[in-house]
Structure 1
Amino acid sequence: MNKLSTFDLGSTNIKTNLGGIYENRFILDNESDTFGAETLEFEGNTYFFNRGNFNKEFTKANKEIEIPLLYAIGKEGLEGNINSILHLPASQFSMRQQIVDRLQGKTFKFKVNGIDSEITFDKVGILKEGFAAFYSLPKRNNGLIAIVDIGGRTTDVFTFVNGKEEKETSIPVGTMNYFKIIADRLNSKGENRKIEDIFKLIDNGLIDLNDYRDTTDGIGSLIINEIKIEVENLKDYSIKLCGGGADYFKDIFRDKYKNVEVLNNNLLSNVAGSHFIGKAKGLD
């Protein structure tokens, strides 16, 4: 088993370097039958996953990170002692020690879907979202590259020149803003929709996003305009899109710029890149 494991606790999904992608919403329910459900049992409580609302808290360090993290660890079958890397938006990186202090050197006992697990975090590192994704690129040391990581609550942008970091910025706009506008439009027509509904309906092909092209273009243009405040000549860069919003906004980027690519496994780019960095630092 690899000693190093990396996790991206996104606003809508939990991602792991082993390829796992799990929906990041759950409820605390100590009364319901757990048969057939996705559950985490921890510290005397039972959490049901794929239920309830996404956590809208903007600051990741203020979230219950232990709950989705332990759930993902159990789903991946990890146990024993591990080194781990997690991620924060660039604008919240100063809060990284709070997360390290909650995990490093600590042992957690829990059950996922009824199976006992025990994990000890030996070393815990934190990397910036988007920065880590750069290191998932097979070719990254030549030319001008802009990583645009469109997540649930933030879009994190890093530019590199011949492999060296040049600029960074974090924009407080992401897919949740997009889903919220779509939900509001449906509700204005008499429906009763929440952000969680929109995520599910899009994921299952029950919403045609062509009907919301103006909304897509509006959010995409907002993101681009915010990027240009920090990166004036974005057209000079090879733009690499990743994160959950990459597939939604790729067309608006391609309408404005020639050299735009959605990364392969764009949801997993941060965990893949941070795993590369962790191995280089001897954490594996």
Structure 2
Amino acid sequence: MVNRKELRPESSPAAAYGAQVRRSREARGWNQEDLATRMGCSSQHISAVETARKPPTLPFSRKADVVFGTAGSTDSFEREWRNIRHGSLLEGFPEYVVHEGRAVELRLFEIGIVPSLLQTSEYARVLADSAVQRGAITPEQAAERVSFLAQRQAALERARPPMVFVVMDESCIRRPVGGSEVMDAQLERLVAFAAHPATMLQVAPYDIGERRTFDLPVNLLTLPDRSVVAYAESQAQGHLDRETASVLPMLTAYHQLQAEALSQAASVAMIRELRKGTP
């Protein structure tokens, strides 16, 4: 006990994580060597995580959940790791991303900006930098957002990719972001996305008027068991909904929106006209 370092869990999320590891270990009467043996690492590594000298990783967190029996619980180490890793993201979004990576179908609707999964890195960087300039996030969090988006996009490029349906309000392609070069590359990306065999891209034109069925962005995911979850967010928070009674009406509204939107061919034609500078 002579070398026991006092922890300050309130000092940072990593420190709180380390304190949780120590509490869980000591509650079982284990020393650091005992825990290291069970987790297949060194006692020095355990000490570094407990004292926040080394940040936790996802593999470490999953092993800790197995060793301590906390997998899937509200006290799981993986959950704490995700809170640290995605601390700058809206509440509910990290959980949504887990489902996104498993989904067999994605249905997306966006207003004002290009849906994140279709954004170029330059477009995404402009949006993140804008948030930094407003003081909403730090430069480090901005870099994390762009990196995290790239990981999400890469996760969809698998051997059997999900079917991705996208309906964008016309404002998404007419709102200038980052200047002409950034927008031109972004519009080119949309055209390429529409050409993929596992995608469908539609623009909901301004003249759809009151027939637009959503006033906020909406994401609907069909999971491997064919259940559907919905995710929607406001400026302040996100909400993941698994309740069939509320999700299925949203799915119906999405189908109604698709029926009112331009066809994919007409949508691509509109995007190509914008690339030529035609209003």
Structure with bigger gyration radius: 2
Q: Is the pair's TM-score, using the shorter chain for normalization, greater than 0.5?
A: no
The bucket for the TM-score relative to the shorter chain is: under 0.3
- Structure with more contact order per residue of length (Cα contacts < 8 Å, sep ≥ 6): 1
Q: Which has the higher strand share?
A: 1
Output the TM-score relative to the length of structure 2.
Answer: 0.28
Q: Which has the higher helix share?
A: 2
